[in-house]
Amino acid sequence: MRRDSRFMVFLYAGMALVPLFLFLYLVAVIAYAPAEGLMLGLAAAWMIIFGTFGSVEIYKHGRLPAEQMPLIPGQTMAKDLESERGKRPKGAEQVTVKIKRFNPDTKKFDEESYDVYEDRLATVLDTLLKIKSQHDNTLSMRYSCRMGICGSCGMVANGKPVLACETNLLSELDENKSITVEPMQGHPLLKDLVTDFDSFFEKHESVEPHLYRNDKAEQYSAEKAYRQTRKQVNEFLPYSYCIMCGLCMDACPVVNSNTEFVGPQALSQVYRYYKDSRDQGSKRRLLDADNLHGAWGCEFSGSCSKACPKGVDPASAIQLLKASIMADFGEQL
Ligand code: SF4
Ligand code: FES
């Protein structure tokens, strides 16, 4: 039975119970409302058919295959899975995955090493999930969408900040066919590969990443749309692709040495709203960014733009912001 059929088995098993309740309800309804009773009867028949299929599936397989059985903490590995673990699937390569995990007792990072077989389609996140399910279920990582949208799976692979779900495992291997995965250093560590984003979101929030309008009442009960030309949209569009993954902050040498620096993510958002023709707070935004913890804190290493998986280019946004501050300052002289 394949992995995707696991969901169906649970679905069928759940459905098998429904007809019993429906039948009892049906008997009660038929006595008072025959038309509704007939419709419910059809629904019950439909569910009985699915329920039967589900029961047959479970009967045929006895139980879920070992690799689909969830492990709970302290539970030992199912015997079938132990034997599955060493097998090499067709077309897969053997890879050594080293994971750096913080040990609170020694206050140091321990490196744990796992040998796994992976094919050319596996991402770093796929492999970590495999390690979690087959080797060590205490391993923690954060992820959600698995498709480069939510920004929650940021980590460092072979020294490079990456989104684990968007990074192909085999293409990141070093010459020894191994990969070292560790948590991002630019954010406080919570556990294993999970970091704390509180201060990151605070910095994002501090630049007020929303439209300013002078007329607040109009903003909340607008009678017409704020129309923009394609040219006006293109001015800020590239900077609006930020998914708040925090990789630019991890890559930035200034963020890592000065915790007050608001950082490339927030500053790219300042520029994004500054360039938005609907925004009426440009002066205020420039004033807020005109200090050493803002735009002038940037030393233009460019590593933020290199790390960004969405092509936001925060480094250029910050330089353009500096140029706008200077131009604005020039106007005032
Ligand atoms: S600018 Fe790029 S790297 Fe930085 S948080 Fe946004 S998407 Fe992530
Ligand atoms: S899991 Fe959502 S971006 Fe990787």
DSSP state of 293: T
Domain C-terminal end among 64, 99, 116: 64
φ and ψ at residue 96, rounded to 5 degrees: -100, 120
User: What is the total count of domains within the chain?
Assistant: 3
Q: How far is the CA of 173 from the centre of ligand 1 (A)?
A: 24
Q: Is residue 304 part of a domain?
A: yes
**247 CB less than 6 Å from ligand 1?**
yes
DSSP state of 197: -
What kind and span of H or E run contains 46? helix 34-61
**Distance (Å, whole) CA 184 – CA 181:** 10
Beta-strand pair 108-118/93-103? antiparallel
**pLDDT higher than threshold 80 for residue 88:** no
51 and 113 part of one domain: no
171 and 46 part of one domain: no
**Distance (Å, whole) CA 165 – CA 206:** 29
**143 CB less than 6 Å from ligand 2?**
yes
| Residues ≥6 apart with Cβ < 8 Å to 287 | none
Q: How far is the CA of 145 from the centre of ligand 2 (A)?
A: 5
**307 CB less than 6 Å from ligand 1?**
yes
**151 CB less than 6 Å from ligand 2?**
yes
Q: Which of 6-10, 78-82, 121-125, 326-330 has the largest mean confidence?
A: 121-125
CB 249 within 8 A of CB 263: yes
Higher pLDDT, 75 or 301: 301
pLDDT digits (tens, 9 = 90+) for 196-252: 999 999 999 999 999 999 988 888 888 888 899 999 999 999 999 999 999 999 999
Domain housing 250? 197-332
Which ligand is located closest to the Cα atom of residue 318? 1
**153 CB less than 6 Å from ligand 2?**
yes
Nearest protein Cα to ligand 1, atom 7: 242
